[in-house]
Structure formats: structure tokens, C-alpha cells
Amino acid sequence: MHNNLTHIIGTPFRNKGRNIATGLDCWGLVMYVFGLYGISLPDFNADAFQYADNDKKVIESTRGGEWEAVQYNPESDEPLVVVMKMHPKYIAHVGVYVGNGRILHTTAGTGAILSKVTALQRRIVGFYRHVDNN
């Protein structure tokens, strides 16, 4: 896990939030964390989450370079986007796998928190690595 992630925990949730000082939504949190790793991700329209059961379309809609689906590996400490279903019929949440079996994510009810992969495993539909083509 990146050494400087603990300051994110407790950041309030803010719909369409893109500033850690005022609050982040789930994609804002992903953008912020990847930025700490030197990876700049573009913003995107949250309407992408309306693709039922299609995590690949959600992650590709970010247009932030290339994305490669990967198997979950609890030994890994590279940042991975985790696509999740928070409703049984559609994908509506993302977080960042940060190592040690933990996902950093934010919701309106909790703000930014660390959750165990095992606690979210029924909701997870995919893990994605960012591939820089530059």
C-alpha cells in the first residue's frame, strides 16, 4: 500500500467530488489515489454505471488509457480499480485495491474507508490494472 493513503480515510463523500479538501465520490477517490502513484486519470460521466453486468464497459468508459482485467492477488500492492455492484442489477461503485487484502473506497454513508476484499467479494465484478501506452 502506498505510504501516504492514511490521510484519505475519513474524507467525506461528496457527489461528483473531485477535491480531497471538500470531499470525493468514488471515482474522485480513484483519480486521487492513482494520482499519488503518478497516474493521471480523466474524469468521466457517471452514466457509464448504467451498463448492467458489464464491468469492462464501465472501466473503458473512463477513456484513461488502457485497462487490463487481472485476477485478484492478495500479495499484490499495485493500485487496481475495483468495479463493484452496490445494487443487484447494475454496477454503481468503484474503489482502489491498495494491498494487504484491502480496498479503499467511499460511499455517502461512510466517507472514505478501508474494507477487506472478503467483506466486499460478493459485490466485486472485476479488478483492473491501468496500462500506460505512452
Q: What is the CATH number of the domain that holds 63?
A: 3.90.1720.10
Is residue 54 one of the residues assigned to a domain? yes
Domains of the chain: total: 1
**All cell numbers assigned to 11:** 474524507
Is residue 113 one of the residues assigned to a domain? yes
3-class SS letters over 85-133: EEECCEEEEEEEEEECCEEEEEECCCEEEEEEHHHHCCCEEEEEEEECC
Q: Which residues of the chain have pLDDT under 70?
A: 1-3, 44-65, 133-134
pTM for the structure as a whole: 0.83
Question: What per-residue confidence (pLDDT) applies to 52?
Answer: 46
Question: What per-residue confidence (pLDDT) applies to 65?
Answer: 59
Question: What per-residue confidence (pLDDT) applies to 17?
Answer: 93
Is residue 1 one of the residues assigned to a domain? no
Is residue 69 one of the residues assigned to a domain? yes
Is residue 85 one of the residues assigned to a domain? yes
Span 17-35, pLDDT tens digits: 999 999 999 989 999 998 9
- For residue 69, the enclosing domain spans 6-131
Secondary-structure breakdown of the chain: helix, strand, coil percentages, each rounded to the nearest 5: 20, 35, 45
Question: What per-residue confidence (pLDDT) applies to 23?
Answer: 97
